[in-house]
Amino acid sequence: MLKKLAEEQLERLLEAGVEEFALQGLAGANMRTIAERAGVSVGALYKYYGDKEGFFRACLDRSLEALDAVLAEVIGKEAGFREYARRIIRALLRFSREHAGYVRLYCALAASGGKDARELAREIEGVTSRLYAGTIAAGQAAGDLRRDMDPAMLAFFFDNLLMMLQFTGCCDYYRERFRLYCGGTPEDQEERLERELLKFLEAAFTFEEAGIIHEA
């Protein structure tokens, strides 16, 4: 077959690559397999992306763009922390559902070591860390959130729970783990998961030590 590689085929290449890299890692992924899965010749794969490393980077970039898009959508609207958290959780749950491959790749990369991993961290977490810390500090100033905790740490724990939320939705290990803890799959339990996480966060973020309950 010699027809021009359609947009759609390039799309399929990236999808297949994201999936394969997420599953097998950079070293374990097989370029021929990826090309076959995408229904494209190896030559075409190399023509478009140069080499394995380059193709890997393209898959990664694609994942990051998708994640950025989701976050941008949430971040845009001004809101209090509660509303804000709810929106993020819902957005990430949807992202997990719709772009499981990206999350898997993200999880795999975060697990890999070396300079690349550190750079990736700066690339991905740089934005969110500042964003969360800012929003939380504002919430503290407004009296909406507890003042007895370091906003940086609050943001950190918040993001920890969100990262785990995503992995739970997409990665085999984390899905199975969810089943052990809560029964069922993350999808079936999505509503419950969202509700309970919000309760958990609500308490963690608003309760102030010494029993002095912050005004609702």
Partner DNA sequence: TATGAATGAGATTTCATTCAT
Partner DNA sequence: TATGAATGAAATCTCATTCAT
Site string for a copy of itself, 107-146 (x = CB under 8 A): xxxxxxxxx-xx-xxx--xx--x---x------------x
Cα 113–chain centre separation: 18
Interatomic CA distance for residues 35 and 132, integer angstroms: 40
Question: b or e along 96-114 (b: 16 or more beta carbons within 10 Å of the residue's beta carbon)?
Answer: beebbbbbbbbbbbeeeee
In eight-state DSSP terms, residue 187 is T
Which of these ranges, 40-48, 49-57, 70-78, 173-181, lies near a copy of itself under the rule CB under 8 A? Answer: 173-181
Write down how long the chain is: 216
Structure tokens that stand for 68 in this block: 């950025």
Q: How far apart are the first and last CA of the chain?
A: 66
69 binds a copy of itself (CB under 8 A): no
Q: Which of 4/77 has CB closer to DNA?
A: 4
90 binds a copy of itself (CB under 8 A): no
Angle formed by the axes of helices 100-111 and 115-141, nearest 10°: 110
Structure tokens that stand for 100 in this block: 């499981």
User: Quick one: what does residue 104 bind among a copy of itself, DNA, none, with the CB cut-off 5 to 8 Å set by partner type?
Assistant: a copy of itself
User: Quick one: what does residue 37 bind among DNA, a copy of itself, none, with the CB cut-off 5 to 8 Å set by partner type?
Assistant: none
2 binds DNA (CB under 7 A): yes
Of the candidate residues 8, 30, 72, 118, the single one contacting DNA (CB under 7 A):
30
Interatomic CA distance for residues 119 and 86, integer angstroms: 29
2 binds a copy of itself (CB under 8 A): no
Binders in 31-90 for DNA, by CB under 7 A = 31-32, 40-44, 46-48, 51-53
Of the candidate residues 22, 34, 38, 88, the single one contacting a copy of itself (CB under 8 A):
22
Angle formed by the axes of helices 52-76 and 7-28, nearest 10°: 110
User: Quick one: what does residue 90 bind among a copy of itself, DNA, none, with the CB cut-off 5 to 8 Å set by partner type?
Assistant: none
- Tell me which residue of 137, 138, 161 sits closest to 149, measured CA to CA: 137
User: Quick one: what does residue 25 bind among DNA, a copy of itself, none, with the CB cut-off 5 to 8 Å set by partner type?
Assistant: a copy of itself
Interface residues with DNA (CB under 7 A) are 1-6, 9, 29-32, 40-44, 46-48, 51-53
